[in-house]
Amino acid sequence: DARVTQTPRHKVTEMGQEVTMRCQPILGHNTVFWYRQTMMQGLELLAYFRNRAPLDDSGMPKDRFSAEMPDATLATLKIQPSEPRDSAVYFCASGLNTASEAFFGQGTRLTVV
C-alpha cells in the first residue's frame, strides 16, 4: 500500500531548539510538497521540489526554515531556531508529476513552547 510517510507524528520542543521533520514520498513520485496548516491560515505552501530540485520555496521564512531532498526517498524540513508561532501541522505530499494527483502524509504536529 503506497503512502507518504512522515516522522515524527508529534513533536513538542522548546523555543530556540532545532526541529527536523522527515518525509518519505511514494516511490516513483518526482514532485514533493511541504505545507503548513493552521486554524487561521489554513493550508499554506512552504516548498515544492521536482526531481529533488527546489522550484518554489517562496512561502518559507528563509531565515529559519530550510527544505532539502538528500535523495529521492527522503525530504526534510528544518526549523532553526524554532518559535512558538511555528506551532502547526506540517504536511508532506507527493505526486507523479506536476499535474497529477497529490497524496498527503499524516502530518507532523509541532508544538513549540
Window contacting other proteins (CB under 8 A); options: 17-25, 66-74, 77-85, 95-103? 95-103
- Residues 13-42, interacting with other proteins (CB under 8 A): 33, 35, 42
Nearest-approach distance from CB 57 to other proteins, in angstroms = 11
Four-point Cα dihedral 28, 45, 22, 85, nearest 10: -170
In the complex with other proteins, which residue's Cβ is closer, 13 or 104? 104
Four-point Cα dihedral 83, 87, 89, 95, nearest 10: -20
Which 3 state secondary structure label does DSSP give 51? coil
Q: Which residue has the cell 529559519?
A: 64
Chain residues binding other proteins by CB under 8 A are 33, 35, 42-43, 45, 48, 50, 55-56, 91, 93, 98-107
